[in-house]
Amino acid sequence: MESKRQQKFAGVLQQDLAAIFQREGMSFLPNTLVTITKVRVTPDLAIARVFLSFFNTANTQQSLQTVKSHASEIRYKLGARIKDQVRVIPQLEFFVDDTNEYVERMDKIFDKISKEDRQKDEE
């Protein structure tokens, strides 16, 4: 369970990272929309786990690797934005948020089950 402090700081990071990706994300991920879906922060606020969702990309793992390769640049830009609010700029760890894919997969399974039930009822 995250503390209020962690939740507040994660919200600030999410907003600032979203602005960074919106303005400068096109330089390293052209024609790709990056959404920060969730940010989780450790209790000491030293590490931020950032969950990303990619749209308009064929390979999400390659996009994630591109973001990871630019992590120090993103952290520097984040530090320029929040330097007056925090003592230490957190290390950024990036992960793919596959919630949308999971929901789509579950929807397909439920559709398949409901079709099977209808077929049994008709027989």
Which phi and psi (to 5°) does residue 38 adopt? -160, 145
Q: Extract the tokens encoding 79.
A: 């530090």
Q: Which of 94, 73, 95 is nearest to 24 (CA)?
A: 73
pLDDT digits 0-9 by tens, 17-61: 999 999 888 888 888 888 899 999 999 999 999 999 888 888 888
CB 52 within 8 A of CB 35: yes
Q: How many whole angstroms from its chain centre is CA 44?
A: 21
Q: Give the pLDDT confidence score for residue 80 in this predicted structure.
A: 94
Residue 108: pLDDT band with limits 50, 70, 90: confident
Q: Give the pLDDT confidence score for residue 123 in this predicted structure.
A: 63
CB 49 within 8 A of CB 98: no
Residue keyed to tokens 């591109």: 66
Mean pLDDT of 86-95: 93
Quote the CATH superfamily of domain 4-122. K homology (KH) domain (3.30.300.20)
pLDDT digits 0-9 by tens, 54-85: 888 888 889 999 999 999 999 999 999 999 98
Q: Give the pLDDT confidence score for residue 97 in this predicted structure.
A: 86
Sequence ranges of the domains in the chain: 4-122
Long-range CB contacts for residues 104-108, cutoff 8 Å, separation at least 24: none
| Across 3-12, 22-31, 95-104, least confident range | 95-104
